[in-house]
């Protein structure tokens, strides 16, 4: 539904100039979520410039969102009392979308939420209560923006969790080289690890085809 001019490196995209990038090519190079974030980063009626730098920035944003999704889910499964989740970012997000679908401003609010959650997780301060209270807002904003994290199938999930458990055992036994070999194996399966006190959170990473 983007109606603004689409350019490539600030130059008009056209067949005559031979600088057209097809949707199939863009998806193959960057992945669906990175490409969607890139499109949402400007208002639908404003010019949209297709550059490697802008797409790399969107790819980094998507990595942060992936981390937030898995950290929230993992924390929510832990024991803990319920808590009130700050609603400021969700209110700002909805206000921006109500303002002629200002997706750029809405995305700013969403990423502020993501950053706050990731900071809590990185400092081991993301409690189960806060995670459970925050998940509905996160999922609502994800759904409105059309973003969806890559999910591991049931069998793959069991295999990943078994490898993570074995890696944790090896680390506890100070067998760090063997533990790192497992981490490398998981990276080859597009799985990244976030280590916390007493537990490890894993996430399935979207890789362009």
pLDDT at 82: 64
Q: What class does CATH assign to 6-145?
A: mainly alpha
Contact 96, 109 (CB under 8 A): yes
Question: What gap in Å lies between CA 64 and CA 66, rounded to an integer?
Answer: 5
pLDDT at 6: 80
Residues of the chain with pLDDT under 70: 1-3, 80-86, 209
E strands, the chain, in order:
6-8, 11-12, 48-50, 191-196, 199-204
202 forms beta bridges with: 193
Question: What gap in Å lies between CA 22 and CA 16, rounded to an integer?
Answer: 15
146 forms beta bridges with: none
pTM (whole model) above 0.85: yes
pLDDT at 149: 95
pLDDT at 1: 66
pLDDT at 100: 93
Helix then strand then coil, % of the chain, to nearest 5? 60, 10, 30
Question: What gap in Å lies between CA 68 and CA 74, rounded to an integer?
Answer: 10
pLDDT at 102: 95
Distances (CA, A) of 160 to 27, 64, 195: 27, 21, 15
User: What are the residue ranges of CATH 1.10.730.10 in the chain?
Assistant: 6-145
Question: What gap in Å lies between CA 191 and CA 48, rounded to an integer?
Answer: 32
**Strands 48-50 and 6-8, how do they pair?**
parallel
Kindly provide the b/e burial profile for residues 134-157, where b requires at least 16 CB atoms within 10 angstroms of the residue's own CB.
Answer: bbebbeebbeebebebeebeeeee
Distances (CA, A) of 40 to 17, 43, 109, 165, 167: 26, 7, 13, 38, 39
């Amino acid at each position: 539904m983007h109606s603004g001019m689409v350019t490539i490196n600030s130059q008009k995209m056209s067949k005559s100039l031979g600088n057209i990038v097809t949707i199939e090519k863009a998806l193959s190079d960057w992945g669906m979520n990175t490409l969607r974030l890139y499109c949402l980063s400007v208002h639908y009626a404003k010019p949209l410039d297709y550059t490697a730098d802008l797409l790399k920035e969107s790819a980094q944003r998507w990595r942060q969102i992936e981390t937030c999704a898995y950290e929230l889910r993992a924390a929510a499964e832990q024991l803990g009392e319920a808590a009130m989740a700050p609603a400021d970012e969700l209110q700002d997000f909805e206000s921006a979308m109500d303002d002629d679908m200002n997706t750029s401003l809405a995305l700013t609010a969403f990423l502020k939420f993501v950053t706050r959650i990731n900071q809590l997780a990185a400092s081991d301060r993301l409690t189960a209560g806060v995670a459970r209270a925050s998940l509905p807002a996160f999922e609502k904003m994800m759904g409105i923006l059309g973003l969806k994290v890559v999910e591991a199938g049931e069998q793959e999930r069991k295999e990943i969790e078994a490898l993570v458990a074995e890696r944790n055992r090896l680390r506890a036994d100070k067998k760090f080289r063997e533990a790192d070999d497992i981490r490398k194996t998981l990276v080859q399966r597009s799985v990244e690890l976030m280590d916390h006190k007493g537990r490890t959170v894993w996430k399935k990473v979207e890789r362009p085809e």
